[in-house]
């Protein structure tokens, strides 16, 4: 058996076309979804990510308020910018790119964002709503993973799912989302981590394995049962002198070996990654619809 590749790049492109059509309809009603972006400092990865978000805004038709601030920006000035965006009617979503430079209080900044504009889904109010099953902005990467599964025809309801990783960005929210008593959820979820005894024992029982540990080769072929679905969230740099940059990107899964046992698998890159920005756009458009009284 050789696994079918889940093409996250194509699924994200399909979703963006759907969102583009939705934005066009909203604009006919005088509604232009707007995303406020704050980048502090010049971290290369953050700059690249923010640039990609701005490019996606332009592609879909979302207004982007781009704010790039120097690394020595004060907490006071950063908070003032967030508060301005909270009040700005043209801004439906606020994104503060993390990590912030040393000396800035990330928790204080995230708490200052209006929960109604928290399109990253990190505000404690939205996290709480998500946990009890109320309507809330869902964190983008976990929501993107669920969309990948649904759009690839994977049955989530009743499935045994093992998540390897317990971060606040992926592992914890994804586990909570998958156990909700809702359509395309209702899974039985096990969360594993660095203190898990005999990780392979758990992963071998799973219909769906989601690797989000941040370490190459965390999941190997002997840890997967035949026909399992494998979602690789990891993005790791490994040295590769054959590449122009001197490195290549790999996930948390031993892709070449695992794809010979799995039924479906995501590659790295081109799997989960493209979905994160797509779901950010989804949340921003949803926020604009809520502000206009159009959300279901």
Q: Which residues are catalytic?
A: 53, 97, 120
Query: How far, CA to CA in Å, does 213 sit from each of 226, 236, 251?
Result: 22, 10, 9
* CA atoms of 224 and 261, how far apart (whole Å): 7
DSSP conformation letters of 90-158: T--EEEE-SSPPTTS-HHHHHHHS-GGG-TTS-SHHHHHHHHTT-S-PPPHHHHHHHHHHHHTT---TT
Report the relative pairing of strands 247-250 and 236-239 from DSSP bridges.
Answer: antiparallel
Q: Are 193 and 233 in contact (CB under 8 A)?
A: no
Beta strand pairing call for 264-265 and 247-250? unpaired
CA atoms of 24 and 19, how far apart (whole Å): 9
- Dihedral angle sign, alpha carbons of residues 91, 92, 97, 102: positive
**CB of 185 within 8 A of CB of 39?**
no
Least Cα distance to 262 among 214, 199, 211, 191 occurs for 211
* 187 contacts 155 by C-beta, under 8 angstroms: no
Distance CA 103, CA 106 (A): 9
């Amino acid at each position: 058996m050789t696994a079918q590749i889940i093409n996250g790049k194509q699924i994200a492109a399909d979703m963006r076309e759907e969102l583009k059509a939705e934005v066009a309809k909203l604009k006919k009603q005088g509604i232009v979804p707007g995303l406020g972006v704050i980048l502090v400092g010049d971290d290369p990865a953050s700059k690249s990510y923010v640039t990609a978000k701005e490019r996606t805004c332009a592609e879909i038709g979302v207004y982007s308020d781009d704010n790039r601030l120097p690394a020595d920006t004060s907490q006071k000035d950063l908070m003032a910018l967030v508060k301005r965006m909270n009040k700005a009617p043209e801004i439906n979503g606020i994104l503060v790119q993390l990590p912030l430079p040393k000396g800035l209080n990330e928790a204080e900044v995230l708490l200052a964002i209006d929960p109604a504009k928290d399109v990253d889904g990190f505000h404690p109010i939205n996290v709480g709503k998500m946990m009890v099953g109320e309507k809330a902005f869902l964190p983008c990467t976990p929501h993107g993973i669920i969309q990948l599964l649904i759009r690839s025809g994977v049955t989530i309801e009743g499935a045994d799912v093992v998540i390897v990783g317990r971060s606040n960005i992926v592992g914890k929210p994804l586990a909570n989302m998958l156990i909700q008593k809702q359509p395309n959820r209702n899974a039985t979820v096990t969360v594993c981590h660095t203190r898990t005894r005999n990780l392979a024992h758990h992963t071998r029982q799973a219909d769906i394995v989601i690797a989000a540990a941040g370490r190459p080769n965390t999941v190997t072929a002997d840890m997967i049962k035949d026909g399992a679905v494998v979602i690789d969230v990891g993005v790791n740099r490994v040295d590769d002198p054959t590449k122009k940059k001197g490195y290549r990107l790999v996930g948390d899964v031993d892709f070449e070996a695992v794809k010979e046992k799995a039924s479906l698998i995501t590659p790295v890159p081109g799997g989960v990654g493209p979905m994160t920005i797509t779901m950010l756009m989804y949340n921003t458009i949803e926020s604009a619809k809520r502000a206009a009284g159009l959300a279901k």
